[in-house]
A and B are shown apart, each in its own frame.
Chain A
Amino acid sequence: MQLPAPIRNLYERWLARRLPPARQIVLDQRRIFIFPTGYGFFYLLVAALLFIGGINYENNLILALSFLLASLFMVAILHTFRNLSALGIRNGGSESGFAGEEGALEIVLFAQRREHHCVWLRWRGQDDQQISIRRGEEESLWLNLPLAKRGRVMAPRLKVESRFPLGLLRTWSYVSLDHYCLAWPRPEESLDCPADGGKENQQAFSSGQSGNDEFQGLRSYIPGDSLRRVDWKGYARGRGLNTKQFEEPVGGRLWLRWDCLQGLGEEKRLSVLCFWILQLDPQRQPYGLKLPGLTLAPDTGDVHRWRLLDALASYPDF
């Protein structure tokens, strides 16, 4: 259903005012809407038909039956509302992705006061995902999010809907979570490596042999260290988590630099940097990134790569 644009804008503004974004939301009567479903209307029609039948046959029991149907409907209003009421929703993790592809956001649902059955979650234009939460427990759900362009993509307004228990009524709420997903720049191929340090071109480390590294010693593990460098054997012997330290490679440190891409547009520069990060990552050579206002020291590994990509995504507000 599409409303005309001015009404739609008014509606959106009203919703935004009524339901401001937050990191955590517990649904209450202010946030919950309720309305009969198509089947609910059909059900009411049946009740009305039975009422007319009861009147015409002068049959009080058929009348009573139609009243019972109507009463069930009224009681169902409370039960349907109750199924959504007091449901808590908060931010979970987020999974970044390249612009033009999809990222994902984790939504955590928690039930403090009662069970919530068959709650559907979705954002506009997506299929529902169903989830049930038991009392006192938490459940989480990953929802895919299309990433249109590079940067922070805010979570759209989330629709939380339920028809439980009778399917006669639909109760729903819109939840604006203060939650975002990072969209990395779309990698763009470029022949020149925007790097200095090491050798000036790509071939310099195409061999990528780890023989270049000289084992230097161990230091205790710091979260974020590449898992490939953890001294697993030592860990297995009970020496604790340690990270192997290597001497600087022969070629020296490799820096991917924003400044090396003079003359290109911002997005273009980011895309090229992204391409080279992806190129360099499998080489297991430490590489760093220099952006205006942010310098990330050379390292290798998944976490390092993600950190660099996230930096590109959040540019210029880190």
Chain B
Amino acid sequence: MARIYQVPSHTRLWLALAVVLCSLPQLVKGPLWQAGLLVLVILIRWLVEQQRLMLPGRMVRSLLLIGAVALTFYSFGRLYGPQAGVALLVSLFALKYLEVVQQRDAYVVVVLGYFVCATALLFSQTPGMFLYVVLCMTVLTTCLVGINHSDTRASGLLHGRRAVVITLQAVPLMVVLFLLVPRVAPLWNMQVGGDKARTGMTDSMSPGQISELSESAELAFRVDFQGDVPPRAQRYWRGLTLSHYDGRTWQQAVTQGQSESEYLYRRGTEKPDWYQRLESRYSSEQQRYRYQVIAEPTQRRWLFSLAVPFPLDGDMALAKDMRLVANQPVSQRFAYRVESVPAAAEAIGLEGQERQLMLSLPQDGGSRARGLAQQWRLESGTAADSARDIAQRALRYFREQPFHYTLRPPRLTADPIDEFLFRTRRGFCEHYASSFTFLMRAAGVPARVVVGYQGGEQNELGSHLLVRQYDAHAWSEIWLDGQGWTRVDPTGAVAPERIELGLREALENSEDGSDVLDDLGLRRFSDGGLFATLSQWMDYVDFRWQTWVLGYDSAFQYEFLEDLLGAVTPVRIAIALIVAVTLLMGLYALFLLWQSGNEKLTLMEREYWRLHQRASERGRPLVAGLTPMQLCQAISEQWPQAAVAAENWAKYYQKLHYDPLSPPDKQQKRHLRSLRNRLYKLLD
């Protein structure tokens, strides 16, 4: 084309807006110089368009480019990897905008804009971000409309309107494609490192750690139950079991010499003995819970579930201590489906070295506690259920002695167990779990500490549970002959409302009461009021977004298509896709191509044309442009017997049609029609 093109003036503003909007999500979290670069570029462009500045030459642009690359390297230490790559892309985007002269340049800017939008979705996948990206796409489409509209009289606002129409029409098609286009397995594996530190469980427990967590209302995970929801007091989300105690800290431990394959069962690998026993219980037990957990990123491999979890998805393993382990650290929101069978726990045995581990205690410390445990041991004798009896005694001890449940326990310095049990007697769940487990081991009952979350708040809009960081909890499990690992929660003995109602209610009743709650901003949901309703709604939307949009993977899609199509075969999917797209496109075509069709005839015009047509059919063809009177004459000439009727019709027609004051009412119309019908009969 020999035409000389420049980006039309009515589009320049849109282009600038597109560049700013698309870059914004990256600018907010990227280094400051990026925003500076964009501001500089926009300023130069503005001056150029005001004709106060020449468009920067190749030299200046190269310098800016080199500068941007250097700053990227300076900020990120490298030029590859997600963060640095995106920073580089956003800089290139701005620099490309700087040199837009021709239509082709503008096209390149728009395409870069698409990529920048996509990278924004790489780091944030909230509904808000997606809406924002759709907004950016609309602005980019506006730019496309603008650069293809080189009329000088075109207006920028009309471009916007056109782009909105096009985008709105594209969205339903996008939904169809999203639902129906088959999900393919990744061609190669890529992970975006969400390397930001988060609050969450660590793999050990020492006094004060969980109470720290309790100060956060951040979401830990959500659970969507299919069918029964267990009562609150049974909702113990097991994360880790800790079996080694060094006098201060509980840690994870595995028996010496045990290999991973003995300890972890992954689908498709050889089944260890303990799993085979579990499996036989799995099929015979009736009571089970089926649910999906959507975990927030923790950067850890352990997952949370009710006892005894059986994974329904492939990318995790079951450990012998009845918990789930993900194949990779959870760096993004991660959804997994589980079936839990509480009663299956007793199928797991405890022998030899493992039993030794569960009884092990540090060399020193807690001498008074050991004494107390020995006393209980003697008192309860050697009966088969002596272990249970000892546990009852310990719980009674917690209940009857003046123990307090508090978020702000005094510091324990030298001998945490004895100090807590006999002196301060104020503590949080980790103190109770720790000292209870210590007492059990000292009395010869195999025991371990379990950390995880307890409870979870139900969203009234959906059926799902929300488990927040402040639901973090620690409790104990003891080994009972014939029952296997049995959960004992000493906190429940001291503050039963913690278990029945949750942390908030427990604290409200306790002595350090509601000021702590206010401090921590723990008054969420269920406090009533508009804010609570709103936050419930927001959570509900976010949750549905998680499960239906972000979690719409190949398995979910398969289920959905099975419901929709009966059977999932490539042919059926293809047909469904074609039918849906064709239907939508047909609808749009109808709307777009017929919308501004020929003007509709008015009733009077129709009346005229009907007679005209009938007369033409019965006799000689008539020319089109006749007045009613001429039409009447033409009819009289051909059918003399109809002359009077024709004249009646024509006069009445004119009377109705040319009366400017009153449009014809219903009765008059009917009369006209009857005149016409009378005339019809004479035209033979």
| B174 is an interface residue with CB less than 8 A from chain A | yes
* Of the residues A60, A85, A166, contact of B549 by C-beta under 8 Å: A60
Instruction: Convert B596-622 into 0s and 1s, putting 1 for each residue whose CB lies closer than 8 angstroms to a CB of A.
Output: 111000000000000000000000000
A68 touches B170 (CB 8 A): yes
- Bound Cα distance from A278 to B166, whole angstroms: 59
B147 nearest in chain A by CB position: A167
A129 nearest in chain B by CB position: B3
- Bound Cα distance from A105 to B562, whole angstroms: 63
B3 touches A65 (CB 8 A): no
Instruction: Convert B453-495 into 0s and 1s, putting 1 for each residue whose CB lies closer than 8 angstroms to a CB of A.
Output: 0000000000000000000000000000000000000000000
> Of residues 114 to 132 in B, which have CB atoms within 8 Å of A's CB atoms?
114-115, 117-118, 121-122, 125, 129-130
B596 touches A118 (CB 8 A): no
| B553 is an interface residue with CB less than 8 A from chain A | yes
B148 CB contacts on chain A under 8 angstroms: 118, 163-167
- Bound Cα distance from A117 to B10, whole angstroms: 15
| B183 is an interface residue with CB less than 8 A from chain A | yes
A71 touches B174 (CB 8 A): yes
- Bound Cα distance from A58 to B349, whole angstroms: 40
- Bound Cα distance from A50 to B113, whole angstroms: 12
B188 touches A56 (CB 8 A): yes
| B340 is an interface residue with CB less than 8 A from chain A | no
B149 touches A165 (CB 8 A): yes
Number of A-B residue pairs, CB cutoff 8 Å, is 149
A74 CB contacts on chain B under 8 angstroms: 170, 173, 581, 585
Instruction: Convert A64-89 into 0s and 1s, putting 1 for each residue whose CB lies closer than 8 angstroms to a CB of B.
Output: 11011111101110110110010000
* Of the residues A52, A58, A61, A165, contact of B121 by C-beta under 8 Å: A61
A67 nearest in chain B by CB position: B177
B169 touches A65 (CB 8 A): no
B593 touches A62 (CB 8 A): no
A167 touches B549 (CB 8 A): no
Assuming the contacts A55-B183, A59-B122, A164-B149, asked whether A50 and B166 have C-beta atoms less than 8 A apart, the reply is: no
Report A118 CB to chain B, min CB distance, Å: 6
Report A133 CB to chain B, min CB distance, Å: 11
B149 touches A117 (CB 8 A): yes
| A127 is an interface residue with CB less than 8 A from chain B | yes
A52 CB contacts on chain B under 8 angstroms: 187
B187 touches A55 (CB 8 A): yes
| A210 is an interface residue with CB less than 8 A from chain B | no
B553 touches A63 (CB 8 A): no
A199 CB contacts on chain B under 8 angstroms: none
B178 CB contacts on chain A under 8 angstroms: 60, 63-64, 67
| B144 is an interface residue with CB less than 8 A from chain A | yes
- Bound Cα distance from A128 to B150, whole angstroms: 13
* Of the residues B103, B114, B553, contact of A58 by C-beta under 8 Å: B553
Count the B residues whose beta carbon is within 8 Å of the partner chain — how many? 61
A65 touches B167 (CB 8 A): no
A56 CB contacts on chain B under 8 angstroms: 186-190
Report B313 CB to chain A, min CB distance, Å: 13
> Of residues 87 to 129 in B, which have CB atoms within 8 Å of A's CB atoms?
103, 107, 111, 114-115, 117-118, 121-122, 125, 129
Assuming the contacts A58-B553, A112-B598, A165-B144, asked whether A70 and B183 have C-beta atoms less than 8 A apart, the reply is: no
- Bound Cα distance from A254 to B238, whole angstroms: 118
B170 touches A71 (CB 8 A): yes
B126 nearest in chain A by CB position: A61
Assuming the contacts A65-B117, A113-B596, A118-B149, asked whether A72 and B170 have C-beta atoms less than 8 A apart, the reply is: yes
| B1 is an interface residue with CB less than 8 A from chain A | yes
A46 touches B169 (CB 8 A): no
| A39 is an interface residue with CB less than 8 A from chain B | yes
- Bound Cα distance from A42 to B108, whole angstroms: 10
| A298 is an interface residue with CB less than 8 A from chain B | no
- Bound Cα distance from A291 to B662, whole angstroms: 66
In this complex, the member of B114, B147, B549 whose beta carbon has the largest number of chain A beta carbons within 10 angstroms is: B114
- Bound Cα distance from A69 to B588, whole angstroms: 17
| B552 is an interface residue with CB less than 8 A from chain A | yes
- Bound Cα distance from A112 to B596, whole angstroms: 9
| A43 is an interface residue with CB less than 8 A from chain B | yes
A82 touches B149 (CB 8 A): no
| A9 is an interface residue with CB less than 8 A from chain B | no
B588 touches A59 (CB 8 A): no
B106 nearest in chain A by CB position: A167
Report A258 CB to chain B, min CB distance, Å: 44
B150 touches A57 (CB 8 A): no
> Of residues 129 to 164 in B, which have CB atoms within 8 Å of A's CB atoms?
129-130, 133-134, 137, 141, 144-145, 147-151, 153-154, 162
A46 CB contacts on chain B under 8 angstroms: 111, 114-115
Report B251 CB to chain A, min CB distance, Å: 33
- Bound Cα distance from A127 to B4, whole angstroms: 11
- Bound Cα distance from A118 to B158, whole angstroms: 15
A85 CB contacts on chain B under 8 angstroms: 593
| A130 is an interface residue with CB less than 8 A from chain B | yes
A68 CB contacts on chain B under 8 angstroms: 134, 137, 170-171, 174
| B192 is an interface residue with CB less than 8 A from chain A | yes
B551 nearest in chain A by CB position: A60
| A146 is an interface residue with CB less than 8 A from chain B | no
B183 touches A82 (CB 8 A): no
A75 touches B1 (CB 8 A): no
Report A239 CB to chain B, min CB distance, Å: 36
| A295 is an interface residue with CB less than 8 A from chain B | no
B150 touches A130 (CB 8 A): yes
| B184 is an interface residue with CB less than 8 A from chain A | yes
A82 CB contacts on chain B under 8 angstroms: 592-593
- Bound Cα distance from A69 to B138, whole angstroms: 11
* Of the residues B121, B173, B187, B190, contact of A75 by C-beta under 8 Å: B173
Instruction: Convert A108-149 into 0s and 1s, putting 1 for each residue whose CB lies closer than 8 angstroms to a CB of B.
Output: 000011100110000000011010100100000000000000
A67 touches B192 (CB 8 A): no
B3 touches A43 (CB 8 A): no
| A53 is an interface residue with CB less than 8 A from chain B | yes
Instruction: Convert A25-69 into 0s and 1s, putting 1 for each residue whose CB lies closer than 8 angstroms to a CB of B.
Output: 000000000000001001100100010110111111111110111
* Of the residues A57, A70, A112, A164, contact of B192 by C-beta under 8 Å: A57
B111 touches A42 (CB 8 A): yes
B134 CB contacts on chain A under 8 angstroms: 68
Report A129 CB to chain B, min CB distance, Å: 9
A79 CB contacts on chain B under 8 angstroms: 166, 592
A165 CB contacts on chain B under 8 angstroms: 144-145, 148-149, 162, 166
| B181 is an interface residue with CB less than 8 A from chain A | yes
Assuming the contacts A71-B174, A128-B3, A167-B147, asked whether A50 and B118 have C-beta atoms less than 8 A apart, the reply is: yes
A132 CB contacts on chain B under 8 angstroms: 151, 153
B549 nearest in chain A by CB position: A60
B189 nearest in chain A by CB position: A56
A71 touches B171 (CB 8 A): yes
B121 touches A78 (CB 8 A): no
Instruction: Convert B266-278 into 0s and 1s, putting 1 for each residue whose CB lies closer than 8 angstroms to a CB of A.
Output: 0000000000000
B103 CB contacts on chain A under 8 angstroms: 167
A131 nearest in chain B by CB position: B151
B588 touches A78 (CB 8 A): yes
- 30 A-B pairs in the complex with CB atoms less than 8 angstroms apart: A43-B111, A46-B114, A50-B114, A50-B118, A52-B187, A55-B184, A55-B186, A56-B186, A60-B550, A60-B552, A60-B553, A61-B125, A65-B137, A67-B173, A69-B114, A75-B170, A75-B588, A79-B166, A82-B593, A112-B598, A118-B149, A127-B3, A128-B3, A130-B3, A130-B150, A135-B596, A164-B148, A165-B145, A165-B162, A167-B147
Besides the known contacts A60-B178, A61-B550, A72-B170, 16 further A-B residue pairs in the complex with CB atoms under 8 A apart: A46-B114, A55-B183, A55-B187, A58-B186, A60-B549, A64-B174, A70-B173, A70-B174, A75-B166, A75-B588, A113-B596, A113-B597, A166-B145, A166-B166, A167-B103, A167-B148
Q: Identify the 10 closest CB pairs spanning chains A and B, nearest first.
A: A71-B173, A71-B170, A67-B177, A167-B148, A61-B121, A71-B174, A68-B174, A67-B174, A72-B170, A166-B144
Interface residues of A (CB under 8 A from B): 39, 42-43, 46, 50, 52-53, 55-65, 67-72, 74-76, 78-79, 81-82, 85, 112-114, 117-118, 127-128, 130, 132, 135, 163-168
